[in-house]
Amino acid sequence: MMIKFSAVLLGALVCHSMAFAQPNVKKETVPNGWHLMDQASTGYYGISLDKAYEFLKAKNIKSKTITVAVIDGGIDTTQEDLKAILWKNPKEIPGNGIDDDKNGYVDDVYGWNFLGGKDGRNVKEDSFEGARVYYALKSKYEGKDGTGLTGDEKAEFEMYQRARKAVTGDVNEQEIYMMKQMLPRFITGDSIVQKDLGKAEYNGNDLKNYSPKKMEAIFVKSMMIGISKANDSYDITNTQLISEMNGELRKGEAATTPPQEFRKEIVKDDENDIKDRFYGNNDVMTGTPFHGTHCAGIIGAIRNNNKGVDGVADNVRIMMVRAVPDGDEHDKDVANAIRYAVDNGARIISMSFGKDFSPQKKWVDEAFRYADSKGVLLVKAAGNDNKNVDVEPSYPNPVYADGKGRATNVINVGASGDPKNGGLAAKFSNYGKNEVDIFAPGVGIYSTIPGVSNYGNANGTSMACPVVAGVAALLLEYFPTLTPQQLKQAIEKSAQVPQDKVSQPGTKDMVEFSELARTGGIINAYEAVKYASTLVKAPVKKTVLPKPTFKKAKAA
């Protein structure tokens, strides 16, 4: 959920046709780690993290280690700023092929991969959920108008109608045509660039001083630099781009062809049975670890070690639960990932993913309820389509499908920026004065990426979500009795409301921030810890009575 390909393609086409003409408006740069800074003292609209730690230090409170689960696409367990803070299952003996703790998952040392097969293979790419819904329901509802349907069938028919429109009515044929032309050229040139640079994965930064001689490699450099400029990030890699393009082509093909069942061929569980839970494998580093590695670093990269970056929380363990492929995640995997995290001790779950359809939402809803019953807070990304999620559905969301209210242990996060890097409201962020709770820094966020000592920038509500998860973990470290609802209260009630109007994402309209989120504000760690401290009752000292001095009377 980090890059939307339409933006990538447009940027590439524009830059290719205009010989990389620079925009007329010069954009200022922000320092690495700006998202942690204090606006009053530095001028950057970060979360005032140092002030939060100063407040906690003055209180002389000791922290408690908190486990934060990251449900994502994988993590690099060798990354220098992460490996010491990765959660390790204390009851599991690594590599012995035995389920030592008898939790149903063999050798789950760092977490679990619900996209793996018992034979060691792993799902990397997957289809668009809208296409899966459309073809699953097509034979049942094609040609019908929904007359007489009630209850679950009515809701199912409405979902089918939305899926049909998404799959067959919103295809940009010109865009698909351009992608089909560009991808083979890119792949051909990519092999040349890999050989020239001596590395299989590279990004825009690697290409700045690269002088290709062959036309195919020149095309790759043009496209990569154009994409980097269009997305304000030179850390997008060649493999990410190829993955994004393939994903968009799969969406385009869905208009006429049923999606391939990527997951079924590898995982081999019964996807229609939520009780069939013990599938997958323990390979959390496979597939696409860029996204999960970046999110994990935002939450808890080791602080003050003079390496790379500082995470938000200073005493956490990161549990990786892999459930997000290159494509749309499956509801069953999301539900089981949440349950796994809860059952294995996570107190905060960070979820930087999302989609437009949720055919088995009731399973996810039950997982939300289960997490709440165990005192676990869920933090999720609002999405990167600059759409109003009050009126356009986005999943997972806290509104229960059975109509019985909504989850109160969920925080939905939009992405903020800085006036120096594009504005306080990120131009790509979803928003909603009812359904988005708070905004957090999500533009130009510097964090850990795959490789022992690699770091880079990324944009998205995917980055804003772990900022909030990190703050929640920080609060819980120092105030461990707080409930999910109290954590949510402390984070939201302390949000900082911008004084000036901001650009509504996707438009040039200037609006109050209260039009974009329930709190009308941006997270602030300092204000949040101050607020959290007021929610904790001081321990009541027991009055110790003196021991009695009288002697028991003898019986007469």
Each residue's pLDDT tens digit, 146-172: 999 999 999 999 999 999 998 987 666
How high is the pLDDT of residue 228?
83
Is residue 551 pLDDT above 90, yes or no?
no
How high is the pLDDT of residue 16?
32
User: Is the distance from CB of 413 to CB of 465 less than 8 angstroms?
Assistant: yes
CA distance 167 to 162: 9
Average pLDDT in the 357-380 region?
Answer: 98
How high is the pLDDT of residue 539?
55
Average pLDDT in the 536-554 region?
Answer: 59
As a whole-number percent, the residues of the chain with pLDDT over 70 amount to 90
**pTM of the prediction?**
0.85
Place of tokens 């939307």: 4
Is residue 535 pLDDT above 60, yes or no?
yes
CA distance 221 to 207: 6
Is residue 398 pLDDT above 70, yes or no?
yes
- Smallest CA-to-CA distance from 370 within 402, 339, 414 is with 339
Q: In which band, very low, low, confident or very high, does the pLDDT at 552 lie, cut at 50, 70 and 90?
A: low
Question: What residue type is assigned to position 417 of the chain?
Answer: G
How high is the pLDDT of residue 226?
87
* Residues pairing with 2 in the sheet: none
Query: 264-304 pLDDT, tens per residue?
Result: 999 999 999 999 999 999 999 986 699 999 999 999 999 99
CA distance 308 to 454: 8
Place of tokens 């035995």: 98
Is residue 1 pLDDT above 50, yes or no?
no
How high is the pLDDT of residue 548?
58
For residue 537, CA distances in Å to 8, 58, 388, 479 come to 51, 18, 39, 10
Is residue 422 pLDDT above 50, yes or no?
yes
The ranges of the chain annotated as CATH 3.40.50.200 are: 31-126+267-535
Query: 444-498 pLDDT, tens per residue?
Result: 999 999 999 999 999 999 999 999 999 999 999 999 999 999 999 999 999 999 9
CATH pick for 31-126+267-535 out of 2.115.10.20, 1.10.390.10, 1.10.260.40, 3.40.50.200: 3.40.50.200
How high is the pLDDT of residue 542?
58
Both tokens of residue 508?
A: 């040039």
For residue 527, CA distances in Å to 54, 104, 197, 493 come to 12, 42, 47, 9
Is the pLDDT higher at 550 or at 408?
A: 408
Query: 204-253 pLDDT, tens per residue?
Result: 889 999 999 999 999 999 989 988 887 777 878 888 788 888 877 877 78
User: Is the distance from CB of 372 to CB of 402 less than 8 angstroms?
Assistant: no
CA distance 304 to 209: 32
How high is the pLDDT of residue 17?
29
Using the Cα atoms of residue 344, residue 345, residue 350 and residue 354 in order, give the sign of their dihedral. Answer: positive
Is residue 6 pLDDT above 50, yes or no?
no
How high is the pLDDT of residue 543?
59
